[in-house]
Amino acid sequence: MKLGGLIVLFLGVLIIISVMDILPVTFWFAVGIIFAAIFLYDGLKLFRRFRGQYLGSLIFATILIVRLFNIWGVSWGFWQLFLAMIGSYMIGYGIVSIFQKGVLSSRRTSESSRQELTLSRPLEAETYEVEIEADLTKVLLMSTSEDSEKGFDANLFFDKTCFSGDLNYDKNSGKGRVKARCKARSGVSSVLSKSRLNLELNNKPLVSVDARLDGSDTVMDFSNMNLDTATIKTDLSRLSVVPSKIRDSRIDISCDVASVNFRVPKTVGLIIVHEGDLNWRDFEGLVAHDRGYASDNLDEAITTCQVFIKSDMSKISVDWI
């Protein structure tokens, strides 16, 4: 912005000088300087982002300056300058395409903003507390394979220009705490494909989950996980939950506008207590029970999952697997 201000200031002084005849500067010369400055200002953005548009503007600004000051005897007319502008942008886009996609490309431009974080630990804790905070992110939470010796394995991918993120872990007295964060930067609205979090947990330790999700597409597969409790706060998101088949568990969900789907194993009994309003619901295999709904397999179910939901304007559905 300071550079733009200096250019505008210089142009203003130049125009006044041309009108007052202080220097032999013609009106059309001043107009030419204005256009050269506009293209130059756009071209200097090349040093921030390597794009054909900016390179083309920089080339054409150089041509205009050469023409204005009659360097090397160049005195082109309007149509010659018009064709030179087209040629400048063609050259700019051609050079950028070669360096971004051709054999000369190091792919650093397209990948330099990509960030990949990984965090993994062997099985060393009796319980795990998992904290997830994610905006506009695809989240997958599931268990490791049964014979895995890892306590957990976390992978976070995001674009540094749009997100800030980190993975942290600490252990104290047999309790491990895993924290994953991927927050959208100010002004970012919809870039869901640019960030992804994958977290796998061992199925032996006791697990509790605390998740805050906004504008995210999330799958939480607790089916083979030793889940105790999960607290999920979400808004403007899509959430798919698979209850645990290993132990009885409790899941608390708070959502304003969201789509929540429960994919329930047939060996799991399900109880849903809902508070608030629903736009649409499909409680297949559930019947009214006390303050909520209960599945008709509670008597023969191996484990039971209690779900407490507070929602407004949300869609909740149940599928059996």
Task: Give the separation between CA 306 and CA 308, rounded to whole angstroms.
Answer: 7
Least confident of 24-28, 44-48, 123-127, 245-249: 24-28
pLDDT in tens, 111-132: 567 889 999 999 989 999 999 9
The answer to whether residue 238 is domain-embedded is: no
Q: Are residues 120 and 217 in the same domain?
A: yes
Question: Are both 117 and 99 inside the same structural domain?
Answer: no
Q: Are residues 284 and 301 in the same domain?
A: yes
Distance (Å, whole) CA 182 – CA 163: 6
Reported as a pLDDT band with limits 50, 70 and 90, residue 43 is confident
Q: Is this structure's pTM higher than 0.85?
A: no
* Shared domain check, 249 and 192: no
Predicted confidence (pLDDT) per residue in 119-167, tens digit: 999 998 999 999 999 988 999 999 988 778 889 999 999 988 888 999 9
| pLDDT at site 95 | 84
End residue of a domain, out of 65, 83, 108 = 108
Residue 236 forms part of a structural domain: no
Between CA 211 and CA 170 the distance in angstroms is 18
Residue 232, domain member (yes or no): no
> Could you tell me if 157 and 215 are in contact, meaning their C-beta atoms sit under 8 angstroms apart?
no
pLDDT in tens, 191-238: 555 789 999 999 999 999 999 999 889 999 999 999 999 999 998 889
Higher pLDDT, 39 or 5: 39
Whether residue 109 has pLDDT greater than 50 = no
Q: Answer whether 202's CB lies under 8 Å from 144's CB.
A: yes
Distance CA 33, CA 27 (A): 10
Q: Are 269 and 293 contacting, i.e. CB atoms less than 8 angstroms apart? A: no
Same domain flag for 187 and 275: no
Of 84, 108, 132, the domain-final residue: 108
Say yes or no: 104 and 117 in one domain: no
- The residue segments making up the domain with residue 25 are 2-108
Of residues 239 and 47, more confidence is placed in 239
Q: What would the two tokens of residue 59 be?
A: 């080339």
**Count of domains for the chain:** 3
The answer on 90 and 70 residing in a single domain is yes
Q: Is the pLDDT of residue 23 over 60?
A: no
Q: How many whole angstroms separate alpha carbon 28 and alpha carbon 9? A: 18
- Examine residue 230 and state whether it is found in any structural domain, yes or no: no
Q: Which helix (H) or strand (E) holds 41?
A: helix 27-43
**Do 74 and 102 have their domain in common?**
yes
* Domain end call among 81, 108, 135: 108
Per DSSP, the three-state class of 206 is: strand
Mean per-residue pLDDT, 293-300: 90
Q: Which pLDDT band holds residue 74 (cuts at 50, 70, 90)?
A: low
Distance from C-alpha of 41 to C-alpha of 119, rounded to nearest angstrom: 43
Q: How confident is the model at residue 261 (pLDDT cuts 50, 70, 90)?
A: very high
Q: Which of 262, 232, 261, 244 is nearest to 131 (CA)?
A: 232
Average pLDDT value for residue range 260-286: 85
